[in-house]
Structure 1
Amino acid sequence: MGLMRHAPGGPMVWYCFVWCGVVRCDMVLSDSAWPNRYSTVGRGAEAWYPGIVSISGPHFANAEPQSTTIVGSGAAAASNRAVATRSSDLGTTAQEPLTVVGDGDGDDDAQSCRSSRATPSPATSGSLTLRPPCRWSLHHVDVGLRAPMVACLVPSRASPGLPRLRPHFRRPRRGRPPAVRRRRTSHRRLDQASTPVDPSGALSWQSAIQAATRQLVPMRGILGLAHTVLLLQYILLHDTARKEPNMVYFQEEAAPLDLSHHLSRVTKNRTPSSIKNYYRFFKISGIGNLASGLPNASYFPFDTLEAEVARPSRWDASPDEYHPDAEESSLVVVPKAATNSGGDPAKRVDIATALQYGTAGGYPPLLSWVRRFMLDVLAPNVPYEPGPDVILSCGSTDGVFKLVDLLYDSWLPERGDPVSERPGLLTELFVFNNVLPVVEPHGIQIVTVEIDGEGILAKGPGSLEDVLRNWDPARGKRPHVLYTVTVGHNPTGGVQSLQRKRDIYSVCRAFDIIIIEDEPYWYLQFPSAAAAEAQSRHTAESLAVKRESDEELLGYAGTRRQRSGHSFIDSLVPSFLSLDIDGRVIRLDTLSKTMAPGCRIGWITAQPKFIERLERITEISTQQPSGFAQAMVVQLLVGQNPDALHAFADLPAHKRNAFSGWKMDGWVHWLAGLRSVYERRAARMCSILDQGTHMVVKKPSSSSSSRSSPGKRTQLLSFDWPRGGMFVWLRVHFEEHPLWMARGPTMEALDGPAMAAAMLAFMARKPHLVLPSPGTMFGATPTVVKERAWQNLRLCFTAESEENIDACSRRFTNAVHKFWLIDEVDVMEDLVREQRAS
């Protein structure tokens, strides 16, 4: 290999010649073709050189697209935009992915990582010529077919935005290329790298190159690298990686984006509570605490907290019939004071600490357990460093309330706020109804997005991309937050596939949208629903949530999903967190659907900067959840403190066994069993509903007479079996009713809203006595309520006992059929008045 560089300021000519195995690659960088230019982008005027990069070799004669990564220096944002423009002018049919990465030497590189398309020359010898208008001080020569030499760029971990590759060199085994390995298990494909963040914290390229040189030279002493040349592995494209499984190269996660511009003014101005901040001194061993205003724990009137709790194996993790043993339980005891925790607050569970004032994050033992569950089990592959953080909440509604405070400034027209400043929230057409009363008092307008069986549409008419791209500023500010329930959507029961989530996340990145992922039903995904629906209706499977194979378990940027260690968790559609390379996902979880709503315990998972701001909000609002609930829940999950075991000594023999806690395995087993019992309930209800979707209806000859012509088979109901959650979302075909739009004494026409009201009143009467939720409760806007929501009903299959599910479902379908037999307008008008008066 030879190297030549002229002095700065003059023409810059590079020549790099490498022999490696069967491949010879030449790269020439020259600025002689164009005069010097200047760019004022970044910190000041900086000279930059339009250059030519030529890479040639037999490999480029291949028709199959490959990918190339070129690392450049001093490339300003404007010049990188020109790269993409120029690369499309080379004019050949076979395209090749090209990634251009900035060098981190200034703010002008904040936008310097762009994916563009370069094209190999059609010459039979095989060559690739690029004309990127920026200067290069670092070169990429790809020589990687069978025995390449590999060196990897190594910016410091302090660099939040640039790809970081760990150098790894070894002689390849015969016939196999070398691999770049890394200790961490969350990966991102280099050829799918994202736009970098602010690279101002990066080390100089010189230091990075020297570090790589120290490892390269001992193995390849013939290379005089000087600190300017790095060799990168060539074949990075996904298709090639699948053919050559040993040639998969990853990059370290960068820090999350700084998304503080999304925060409200009030949130930005919040400061830590001086009282809560002082709590850190209370942990000093032997400290005489004369500073706090804490009541003395010995005067608490509770000596123990005790509960009989289920074992995690109470429900079989199968949708088949079950026979639970109601007596299979254990005793949990929270003692007055634990003395055997070793001074670690995360291990001390007792009344003295659980019922005392605490910090905003939550009771330390429970917070520690939730963190471990989220980061090691539920979302072990969040693709940014150092990963998300967690804060406890008082349930999902409390979480939504705090996130509105976090992300929105109130818009009040009465104080003269202009319409152009009105904020918006993106939601599905039908939305969890407790969200609207939270956001609307702040003046936030609801912006709806079209849905299908999976949920929000990412692209197409009415989709997320369509709404954002065609936003009318006259309506207000373009929405910057998306609220969505991705699994077991309330009310529709849809489940977003991983591919749909990728598409949604891509749109949110393009338009800088924060994603609030509310997941109370995430564990209630029903894998047998599609097959059961097809069997019930004698049709092919439809709307099945795709289960990705091992090769397809890739995140937004090519991240291979890390296994959680629990087959049940791995079987679920991943969270948006697994795709979140920017740190723009905020996930809400709750124990309301998996333990009990009265616990009022949930948690929020997000990038650390968001969690820190949420702590400031929590300090002066709810503080942490109830100590009673936290103590009992954490004792259930982690087991008895050694001090608590003494409480078992005097118990009857059948209760004397010491309870060791569910632990993580037990918790996951409980979730799997809970999913199965709800999946079985859904199947029972839907099977009965399928039998009542049609009937033979006779059309009356007039609006007030029952005399009619021969009937026809008419569809009354339509629905998809829920793929998760707790609800069945029905479409009622009121337009098929014999009295549709009939005129009466007091009503001009029995339209959809009138008939929907009449049906609800009819079902509440004997002998039917069933109570569905009207679709109008879930319409996201008045327009949706008026035009569409009246067509729907939501049925819950979880509230009633399993033995009563069949009876309630049959009473519902019978009521629908009886309602269709009403042929007197007067009767219908009475029902409408009754419902609207109630």
Structure 2
Amino acid sequence: MPPPSAIHVEAVTDTAGITLPDPLTAPIKSNEIYGRRKKTAKGQWSVAAPSDSVNFRYSPRGGDKPMAKRWDHFVSHEASIRKGNSLKQAAKFLGNPGIISLGGGLPSSEYFPFEELSLKVPSRGHFSEAETQESGVVIKVGKHDLANNKSIFDIATAFNYGQGSGAAQLLRFVTEHTEYVHSPPYEDWRCTLSIGSTSALDMTLRMLSRPGDMMLSEEYTFATAVETALPLGVRVVGVSMDAEGLLPEAMDQLLSNWDASVHGSAKPHLLYTVPTGQNPTGATQSTERRKAIYKVCQKHDIIIIEDEPYYFLQMQPYTGPDAPEVAPPSSHEEFLDTLVPSLLSMDVDGRVVRLDSFSKVISPGSRIGWVTASEQLVKIYQRHADVSSQGPSGMAQLILWKLLDEHWGHEGYLDWLMHIRLGYTSRRNVILNACEKYLPKDVVSWVPPMAGMFHWMKVDFTKHPDYPAKPIETIEEEIFMRVIEKNALVMRGSWFYANAEEDHQTMFFRATYAAAPAEKIDEGIRRFGEAIRAEFGLETNSNGQ
């Protein structure tokens, strides 16, 4: 049956009416998502049940959305010949009512030494540790809750083998979340679970690159991304940055003038970027910057790997140490409206491979994230996962699902994201206030981060008393060790070069405000400032330095 029309008219009087938006096409609120869920058979949730995230999208499909482009010309030989796990093809029959399985080598849950799992978690709106200790809710999972019709996910199911796509129960939640937050503007997008963004990046590179390729990234980038790429034979070429991150004009110029004989590689077809709260610089690309980057990628046929662990840690503006704090958003809709739109939300070609993760917003130890991309690329990813990671830990999936889907729901999860955003905003303000107090501004400068966990400080090494007799590398090493002598730790900017072989004539240090309490952040910056003053031969200031 076709979907209903976008509008309908409801009578007010015999001769008048009002036009109402159709409930299936009007923008929805977070508390309406569950009401849009399609009914499913119990077999959908059984052990190792195969699933396709398209079945978990709540909006009517079809209409005027384009289909994704095909990426066969970029798919690696390894990915093209991978057939997935043939034995798991039989799993789709396990949900048949009354079937007697003598096929797959699934252990009997009778021999799982876990009968019940109990978790104490925050109730909605009472998220602090103190509140959770005082009034937290204990949620329980039994071994056979699915068979006993108590829940659609239980120990017997989650603790057994699963699919590379992850458990259908959690896949449904992240698919709904992705649709609600990003609403990808092409038709055949899919989600699949990962064991975190680093693993997802490794698998994506193996899908879409070959030894000898080069990949674009910000000139300072997540060190692990470079370390993931290099053993695969993929070198990273850095693109110039400013306070908003990667410069699209610089990327366009680099690609337009690409000389394979100079670079020793064909023109890149991959861009790895962290658009929000970039690690290490803390830079956040504006909406216009993201649109410009996407256009350059369309022009040069670039696939974008959008790594976004800090997306929901976009913060209130920093207004100075003595200025009143900006009021936080008052609703989920207002909160989402304050976020810079993702590249995924602009993607009409299916050229964005978005990597999401629970690591920075729930727990790194969960080792669960998800990938959103075109159907073609997601299916390739799932085939790889089926014969490597086999998907995330079932134990972790069950815990997250009980918290996110059954306990908090989409509303509660957004409440939580708003809560931790405020927490990290407060920590960000502490480190910036400390920098204002303790750092010599004629030597150290910075741009207040708008998101994430990192503060990027530029040091004018040309004012060092030993410059130019000592090169930048030596001065950076001496400053780093002087900070260590003061019993503080910051990261050297050179550790984040996209390409360490290129000439770099700027010096940065990265600090994080993620974990330390406020007084430790303040003291750490004071010690950093003390080390800088000592290294540059500067006098102490009124703060005792």
Structure 1 segments of 4+ aligned residues over 4 angstroms from their partners: 181-186, 322-326, 340-343, 533-536
CA separation in 1, counterparts of 2:480 and 2:278? 23
Give the conservation status (yes or no) of the 8 Å contact 1:533–1:721.
Answer: no
Give the conservation status (yes or no) of the 8 Å contact 1:264–1:406.
Answer: yes
CA separation in 2, counterparts of 1:583 and 1:262? 13
Deviation of residue 801 (structure 1)?
Answer: 2.2
CA separation in 1, counterparts of 2:24 and 2:167? 32
User: Aligned to 2:315, what secondary structure does the other structure show?
Assistant: coil
Deviation of residue 340 (structure 1)?
Answer: 5.7
The alignment status of 1:690 with 2:436, answered yes or no, reads yes
CA separation in 1, counterparts of 2:347 and 2:475? 45
Deviation of residue 426 (structure 1)?
Answer: 0.5
Query: Which letter does structure 1 place at the counterpart of 2:181?
Result: L
CA deviation string 1:110-156 (max 9, x = no partner): xxxxxxxxxxxxxxxxxxxxxxxxxxxxxxxxxxxxxxxxxxxxxxx
CA separation in 1, counterparts of 2:538 and 2:439? 17
> Corresponding residue for 2:510?
794
Task: Choose 1 or 2 for highest CA Rg.
Answer: 1
CA separation in 1, counterparts of 2:522 and 2:6? 63
The alignment status of 1:757 with 2:477, answered yes or no, reads yes
TM-score, normalising length: structure 1: 0.55
Q: 2:236 aligns with which of 436, 446, 449?
A: 446
Q: 2:258 aligns with which of 468, 471, 484?
A: 471
CA deviation string 1:337-372 (max 9, x = no partner): 1146769xxx62111011101111101211111111
Query: Which letter does structure 1 place at the counterpart of 2:524?
Result: C
> Corresponding residue for 1:353?
157
Q: 2:383 aligns with which of 613, 616, 621?
A: 616
Deviation of residue 669 (structure 1)?
Answer: 0.6
Closer, same or farther: CA 182–681 of 1 in aligned 2, 3 Å: closer
Query: Which letter does structure 1 place at the counterpart of 2:232?
Result: H
> Corresponding residue for 1:780?
498
> Corresponding residue for 2:365?
598
CA deviation string 1:244-265 (max 9, x = no partner): xxxxxxx811211122222111
Structural mapping, 1:449-464, within 5 Å: 449-459=239-249, 463-464=250-251
Structural mapping, 1:531-570, within 5 Å: 531-532=319-320, 566-570=333-337
CA separation in 2, counterparts of 1:611 and 1:533? 46
> Corresponding residue for 1:396?
197
Give the conservation status (yes or no) of the 8 Å contact 2:122–2:132.
Answer: no
Query: Which letter does structure 2 place at the counterpart of 1:787?
Result: H
Structural mapping, 1:631-642, within 5 Å: 631-639=398-406
CA separation in 2, counterparts of 1:269 and 1:491? 37
The alignment status of 1:300 with 2:112, answered yes or no, reads yes
Give the conservation status (yes or no) of the 8 Å contact 2:121–2:132.
Answer: no
> Corresponding residue for 1:383?
185
Give the conservation status (yes or no) of the 8 Å contact 2:206–2:232.
Answer: no
Which structure 2 segments of 5+ residues have no match? 10-21, 28-62, 540-545
Give the conservation status (yes or no) of the 8 Å contact 1:341–1:348.
Answer: no
Closer, same or farther: CA 600–325 of 1 in aligned 2, 3 Å: closer
Q: 2:374 aligns with which of 607, 632, 647?
A: 607
Closer, same or farther: CA 369–167 of 1 in aligned 2, 3 Å: closer
Q: 1:432 aligns with which of 198, 206, 222?
A: 222
> Corresponding residue for 1:327?
134
Deviation of residue 328 (structure 1)?
Answer: 3.5
Deviation of residue 404 (structure 1)?
Answer: 0.6
Give the conservation status (yes or no) of the 8 Å contact 2:430–2:518.
Answer: no
CA separation in 2, counterparts of 1:389 and 1:464? 28
> Corresponding residue for 2:15?
none
CA separation in 1, counterparts of 2:525 and 2:270? 38
Q: What CA RMSD, in Å, does the superposition of the two structures yield over aligned residues?
A: 2.9
Deviation of residue 763 (structure 1)?
Answer: 1.4
Q: 2:455 aligns with which of 724, 728, 742?
A: 728
The alignment status of 1:510 with 2:230, answered yes or no, reads no
> Corresponding residue for 1:816?
532
Q: 2:78 aligns with which of 241, 266, 272?
A: 266
CA separation in 2, counterparts of 1:384 and 1:183? 18
TM-score, normalising length: structure 2: 0.83
Give the conservation status (yes or no) of the 8 Å contact 2:307–2:354.
Answer: yes
CA separation in 1, counterparts of 2:369 and 2:164? 13
Closer, same or farther: CA 368–270 of 1 in aligned 2, 3 Å: same
User: Aligned to 1:573, what secondary structure does the other structure show?
Assistant: coil
Give the conservation status (yes or no) of the 8 Å contact 1:392–1:604.
Answer: yes
The alignment status of 1:677 with 2:423, answered yes or no, reads yes
User: Aligned to 2:353, what secondary structure does the other structure show?
Assistant: strand
Closer, same or farther: CA 576–357 of 1 in aligned 2, 3 Å: same
Q: 2:466 aligns with which of 724, 739, 743?
A: 739
User: Aligned to 1:496, what secondary structure does the other structure show?
Assistant: coil
> Corresponding residue for 1:834?
none
Deviation of residue 326 (structure 1)?
Answer: 4.5
CA separation in 2, counterparts of 1:259 and 1:716? 48
User: Aligned to 2:284, what secondary structure does the other structure show?
Assistant: coil
Give the conservation status (yes or no) of the 8 Å contact 1:569–1:668.
Answer: no
Aligned residues: 485
Identity %: 32
Deviation of residue 565 (structure 1)?
Answer: 6.0
Closer, same or farther: CA 292–805 of 1 in aligned 2, 3 Å: same
> Corresponding residue for 1:715?
442
Q: 2:206 aligns with which of 396, 405, 410?
A: 405
